[in-house]
Amino acid sequence: MGTVLLTASMQEAHAQYTMGTTGLLNTPSAEMNETGRLMVGGNYLHEHMTPFNYPTGNYFADLTFFSFLELTYRETLLKRSYMTSKPKYQQQDRSISIKVQPLPEGKWWPALAIGANDPIRSLGRNYYRSIYGVITKHFLFGQHQLGVTVGYQGWTGKENPLNNGVFGGITYRPAFCPQVCLTAEYDTREVNVGVTAQLWNRVSLYAFTGGFECIAGGVRYECTLFH
């Protein structure tokens, strides 16, 4: 039974929680969900890990249209003082992410993916603009699973001064509880450490510390719409 659960966990991608896409905590990975997989959820983000000078949150919908293509729609709450004496969360920033996996993971080679966050400019600002390339490989030690991710992110621009450069991370799923994942990552600026837990095969919760200076957290629901 443990082997079956572990195999299933390797076939299921993990979310990059802060952006609502597949990945680690605050960095992308080369993993992809199965075709037709939908993820919806929301996150609390401390100001330390955003391009804003205040804490905020976002909510998102992410769909893997094909085994190699993933699209994400995201709304981030913005605090503004328009027609009010004190700034309030009365506006939202819309952004999208796209991710393509030209090479899935094999027995002897890692998965390879390229992606872009917030690439299209309309009336607002590209707070999360970036492009990246990343590889991910998983290893089994007995029935314990270890994942290794390394990548590079750039094209962030002046509106997104965060997370520009080399990033990487490690995930660990213990054999005795594969629904729990421990993650340590370097997001180009600092080290983040966190834990995610999957409940009832549909709901996932997470919490992590950003540079050991603040806490972020979130929840997501996922299901398969089509195959």
128-161 pLDDT tens trace? 888 999 999 999 998 999 999 999 998 766 666 6
pLDDT at position 82 is: 72
- Greater confidence (47 vs 5) lies with 47
pLDDT at position 175 is: 94
- Greater confidence (28 vs 119) lies with 28
Domain boundaries defined on the chain: 2-224
- Give me the CATH code for the 2-224 domain, please: 2.40.160.40
Model's pTM, two decimal places? 0.89
pLDDT in tens, 57-86: 999 999 999 999 999 999 999 988 777 778
> What's the burial of 98, exposed, middle or buried (CB within 10 Å: 0-12/13-18/19+)?
middle
Please measure the distance between the N-terminal and C-terminal CA atoms of the chain and give it in whole angstroms. 25
Taking CA 61 as the corner, what is the angle to CA 58 and CA 67, rounded to the nearest 5 degrees?
Answer: 135
Q: Which of 14, 18, 13 lies closest to 189, judged by CA? A: 18
pLDDT at position 11 is: 46
- Res. 5: pLDDT tops 90: no
CB 196 within 8 A of CB 22: no
pLDDT in tens, 174-226: 999 999 999 999 999 999 999 999 998 899 999 999 889 999 999 999 999 98
pLDDT at position 2 is: 40
**CA-CA-CA-CA torsion for 120, 58, 17, 190, nearest 10 degrees?**
80
CB 20 within 8 A of CB 118: no
